[in-house]
Amino acid sequence: MSRRAFSLLELVVVLCILTILTVIILPSFKAQLNRAAVEESAQRLQEAVKSAQREAQKRTFVAISSPSRTAFAKQAVYLALHPATGRIRIAVWQDSNLDARISNNELTLIQEIYLTPGTSFSLPASITKVACSNTGNRPAGSIVNFNSSGGPIGTELFPIGTYYLTYDEGGYIDGLRYNAVYISGNGGDSYAVAVNPLGLTGLCRWNKGKWVKVR
């Protein structure tokens, strides 16, 4: 029993159908990949915030003796973001020489992660509300509403251009303020991670002119 071969016209029709399907499906698939990448970056940041808090909660005051006295050394945990590189770092400071100054040899890097490729710390003009809040006006100022001066800034682990949060021994954030970070991707999707003074976080996605809570 012989098999009939495909005619040239049939092959052309099949190729046309495949081309049309590709044109229809590919943009949607690419958009899904872009959104997934931004959400992954936001989740990495949210987990880093929680890790920094847990690290701080493990800390206790440490008694250190100097030639003239014995005192309890100040400790702190820093969560730092470097927008230029998409880097997130967690480090611990222990004031070993009791001078209340942060030096390179007193900082210990605990964790370092990066945003996923194709995403960055950024605040598109389309966002008109403060992170994870559908009240108020467009956020003013930086894409990262953390501290940007003083503290560990200028050390090897925290170069100029770094933004940071400080956690005390109880895991609370030093400074009574609402902290937020905005992350966007190539496809225009945007997420935000909000952190309150208690260290509690919220993860939200900007969708059709408002924030939608993800977790």
Q: What's the pLDDT tens digit per position in 171-191?
A: 888 776 778 899 998 877 899
pLDDT of residue 158: 92
pTM for the model stands at: 0.79
Q: Which of 57-61, 90-94, 177-181, 206-210 has the lowest mean pLDDT?
A: 57-61
pLDDT of residue 123: 86
Q: Which residues, 6 or more positions from 17, have their beta carbon under 8 angstroms from its beta carbon?
A: none
pLDDT of residue 83: 92
For residue range 122-146, what is the model confidence (pLDDT) as tens digits? 888 888 888 888 777 766 656 777 8
pLDDT of residue 52: 92
Closest CA to 90 of 42, 40, 47: 47
pLDDT of residue 9: 73
More confident position, 13 or 53: 53
Closest CA to 193 of 185, 204, 184, 178: 204
Residues 162 and 156: their CA atoms lie apart, in Å, by 11
- What CATH superfamily classification does 11-213 receive? minor pseudopilin epsh domain (3.55.40.10)
**Would you give the distance in Å from CA 159 to the centre of its chain?**
17
Closest CA to 193 of 106, 151, 141, 132: 132
Mean pLDDT for 5-24 is 73
pLDDT of residue 142: 63
Closest CA to 85 of 15, 178, 190, 159: 159
